[in-house]
Amino acid sequence: MMWLLLVCTMVAAVGPVLPHNIDKALHRERESDGSFASRADEHSAGGPHDSDFDHESILGSSKDAEEFDHLPAEESKERLELLLIKMDTNADKIIDSKEMYNWIMRSFKMLSKEESSERFEDTDEDGDSFVTWQEHLKETYGIEHPDDVGHQNMDQGKDTTRMMAEDRQLFTAADKDGDEKLNEHEFLAFSHPEEDETMVPLLVDHAMQEKDTNQDNKISFTEYIAGQQGVEHDDEGLLAEKDRFDEDYDKNMDGELDLVEVRHWIVPDNQETATSETEHLFANADDDEDGVLSFDEVLSHHDLFVGSEVTDYGDHLHNLDRFDDEL
């Protein structure tokens, strides 16, 4: 157990996480180990399965999911049936697991676009349909002028300095046309880099720069656990993290994470999440256990898929054409 004593010593030396006055809306939810949280993890936080996640997985919009929660049951069923027609790509009046999986993957893309669009609107201060680096600094870090960056770094510490440097690299990488500003499409890559294949290598590089303290191009368990800033583990917690490191991340079982394993660690697997969600929905709605969902089965479990409530409702959900864009 010598490694446990060594790890405890290194973890105790780690400083605080992030200054509280930084707007973390851009910096997507992270796990304690620094990896990006999957959509399922953002909702469940280790607890029971969250119905909001089910609804967003079908509707592809947190706004629409909330709106459905205020629909009369019959209205909810009517609109859900319209979605089923689009989901049922072979028009056999049955939803198989592949159709459900593809629909959920489409929903994840739509959710990312919705989140990014909201963030884009908040950050585009002058309303010119572009986000500049200066606008990002002001919205996220509260920095009014570029000349203030040095003073801000001194006030907020090395974590802010690192975050700003990483943001700058991501901003430049997302700026495909090199015009020093991001349109809404480029901003999506900037705000959700873990979902853009061209951005993922930069995320891996950031993880290595932060955690690979001996610069051997691998991450040991000691480096992995020491990088969990602001988290205090007792012996039991450290053993649980060691098991997670060995079983979930160290695929070749050599005691360290190489670059491929680091990628799998820090970037959530949307395909795996969509598969798990498909299995969850089928387990709760496939009443006759024939491996497919009839329209009637889905509609009889409409609260599982989209929710409802007897109250007033809005009109924007009538626009279902947007679902065609991602199919």
What confidence tens digit (pLDDT) does each residue in 224-247 have?
998 676 667 788 989 999 999 999
Q: Which residue has the higher pLDDT, 98 or 10?
A: 98
Nearest to 128 by CA among 185, 183, 189: 183
What size, in residues, is the chain? Answer: 327
Region 137-146 average pLDDT: 87
**pLDDT above 50: residue 137:** yes
Residue ranges per structural domain of the chain? 50-94+292-322
**pLDDT above 80: residue 148:** no
d(CA 171, CA 34): 20
d(CA 286, CA 279): 10
**pLDDT above 90: residue 8:** no
DSSP for 256-305 reads: EE-HHHHHHHHS--HHHHHHHHHHHHHHHH-TT-SSSEEHHHHHHTHHHH
Q: Which residue has the higher pLDDT, 89 or 26?
A: 89
User: pLDDT tens across 288-319, in order?
Assistant: 999 999 999 999 999 999 987 543 333 334 45
Instruction: Provide the pLDDT for residue 204.
Output: 98
DSSP assignment, residue 38?
A: P
User: pLDDT tens across 25-72, in order?
Assistant: 455 566 777 788 888 776 555 556 679 999 999 999 999 999 998 899
Nearest to 314 by CA among 62, 69, 55, 67: 67
The HSE-up count of residue 310 (CA atoms within 13 Å, CB side) is 0
User: pLDDT tens across 167-187, in order?
Assistant: 999 999 999 999 999 999 999
Rounded to a whole number of angstroms, the CA Rg of the chain reads: 22
Instruction: Provide the pLDDT for residue 313.
Output: 35
**Cα three-residue angle 201-182-189, rounded to 5 degrees:** 30
Alpha carbon separation from 276 to 63, 222, 248, 282 (Å, rounded): 23, 31, 16, 10
d(CA 175, CA 188): 11
